[in-house]
Structure 1
């Protein structure tokens, strides 16, 4: 199993967060094997055993997306085992996952983020401007949480108003920066240099001790400031990414351009945002059209 996790890390270039999810999923399946079938080795699992595990997950009323992810983790593991000659067959091939309920991406209204900046307390200190820059980069570029935390100072090209991001599958993309966001970055870099004159960390975001920033901190920042103006049940970094894409589409941006900005591998992943735009069009129609 350790070989598999190293394969995900070094060959597939998965994020630490994704690898942790795989570890949790496989560990849970291993515990199910021990408790239910008294088996120690995952390789001993067959189609019937895996199917019974999936049924048990459904009976626990887990979200269908969570079940899909767990099945995907197991599929990847057995595929790896067969490829390396460590198993003769993949018992997950005929496993069917429960149907996914269509779920539209959550997003905030266009004026909400402006309210966050207006109402939020962002003192001109290293910490204050770090929190502001976290919010502005997430909403202003649509980057993922892992991409934000992986940003290096060398990825910035302020003279060209661009930013290099290392996305999923180790794929690089260049994102544009508007004038106001560039100014926030310049101010943050100045305060960072003052706070840590001898810090050689290459990461753009560091903690108060000068160490690389961690996911929970970003979640706390987003929840803290978005909670001031939004009653949404889930205020997360990914909601700002969804909002970035939805607002661009609402203002007439090309879907292919949004795909490239988000770093999606295919247009199908980006098309989900068109549903949100259609819902907005319906609302405008019902409000404004005399025959609505």
Structure 2
């Protein structure tokens, strides 16, 4: 009963996504099953620190990834905080848990020459779909918006008179993103062919040939189809173009706070990961350019 109340709380009061709620549900019921297996029962009041530690150890021994374990413990921590708040228990047992270290992966991104090749040299074809798909790629790269934000763009949100987008992000937070002359020209070309060839009463900016709005799988297919033509990255997705936008901005001396606002990050820490991309690029450039960067040993080594 406590778990169900908690799940209702995070879904309807905290307004967390259905995906997050499902993940927390699975994590909590997994912990409950562990407790029943080990102790014969599950009672939040009887859970102590050692029980939680033993559960974490069992996850590690089961070859569960560090990132997944951290999420599971986070779910448990939120659950017990909720119970303390509701006065079901007096204190939380989640204290001093030593979690396995997470090796932070740098976001995948395309280099500028790859994006130039894609946008300047690639033949997208002719007609409405070609113009739309080229604009989708350019909009991701030029603004750094998320896939859901692109799909949710309304026609009134795209203002070419002042070259800005009004984007509705996570938790309905809105932000304004400026764009350049090239994107403005492509937007006008797309609107012209859309309004001429497609009969639709849709309020959305991007639509399909039948006049209906886009959906995530379609956008994903468009992006991956064209990224494959210029990149050997294992991961190819709209989010890779978001990473590419952030990397390009920072590599060309944009301020970290400006990039944070453009991406719609709530915390500067989320944006700082892209500074590591820039540092990695500097290291690579140094190794390629400096004549002694790859030399080993002391002064007398040939």
Confirm or deny a common fold (TM above 0.5). yes
Cα deviations by residue, 1:53-103 (Å, 9 ceiling, x for unpaired) = 322332232332222222222322332333234554433344332112132
Q: 2:158 aligns with which of 153, 156, 159?
A: 156
Of residues 25-34 and 101-110 in structure 1, the stretch that sits farther from structure 2 once superposed is 25-34
Go from structure 1 to structure 2 and tell me whether the alpha carbon gap of 1:283 and 1:151 turns closer, same or farther (over 3 Å shift): same
Question: 2:283 maps to which residue?
Answer: 282
Match of 2:105 in 1: 103
4+ long deviations beyond 6 Å: 40-44
Any conservation in 1 of the 2:200–2:212 contact (CA below 8 Å)?
no
Decide whether aligned partners of structure 1 residues 166 and 51 sit closer, same or farther in structure 2, where only a CA change above 3 A counts. farther
Hey, what does 2:297 align to over in structure 1? none
User: Gapped runs of 5+ residues in structure 1?
Assistant: none
Distance 1:150 1:4, change over 3 A: farther
Q: CA RMSD in A?
A: 3.1
Q: Aligned pairs, how many?
A: 289
The residue aligned with 1:90 is 92
Q: How many Å separate the matches in 2 of 1:103 and 1:43?
A: 38
**Residues of 1 paired with 2:13 and 2:162: CA distance?**
32
User: How many angstroms does 1:244 deviate by?
Assistant: 1.0
Paired residue for 2:126? 123
**Structure 1 residues 249-270: Cα deviation after superposition (integer angstroms, max 9, x where no partner):** 1112222211221222333322
Higher Cα Rg, which structure: 2
- Which range moved further: 104-113 or 23-32? 23-32
State the shift of 1:110 in Å.
0.8
1:1-292 correspondence runs (5 A): 1=3, 3-33=5-35, 39=41, 45-117=47-119, 118-119=121-122, 121-125=124-128, 127-193=129-195, 194-199=197-202, 202-206=203-207, 212-292=213-293
Question: 1:111 aligns to what SS in structure 2?
Answer: helix
Contact kept in structure 2, 1:15 and 1:146, CA below 8 Å: no
The alpha carbon displacement at 1:162 in A equals 0.8
Moved more, 18-27 or 71-80: 18-27
Q: CA deviation at 1:23?
A: 4.0
Indicate how the Cα distance of structure 1 residues 73 and 197 shifts in structure 2: closer, same or farther if over 3 A, else same: same
Alpha-carbon distance, 1:169 to partner: 4.4
Distance 1:265 1:36, change over 3 A: same
3-state DSSP of counterpart to 1:271: helix
Shift of 1:175: 0.7
Range 185-194 or range 92-101, more displaced = 185-194
Report the Cα distance in structure 1 between the residues aligned to 2:171 and 2:165, rounded to whole angstroms: 18
Q: Specify every segment of 5 or more residues in structure 2 that has no aligned partner in the other structure, as ranges.
A: 294-302
Deviations 1:209-261 (A, max 9, x none): 65554333333222222122211111122221111111111112222211221
Within 2, Cα distance between the matches of 1:6 and 1:223? 36
* Deviating more after overlay: 99-108 vs 205-214: 205-214
Alpha-carbon contact 2:144-2:241 (below 8 Å) kept: yes
Q: What TM-score results when the alignment is normalised by the length of structure 2? A: 0.79
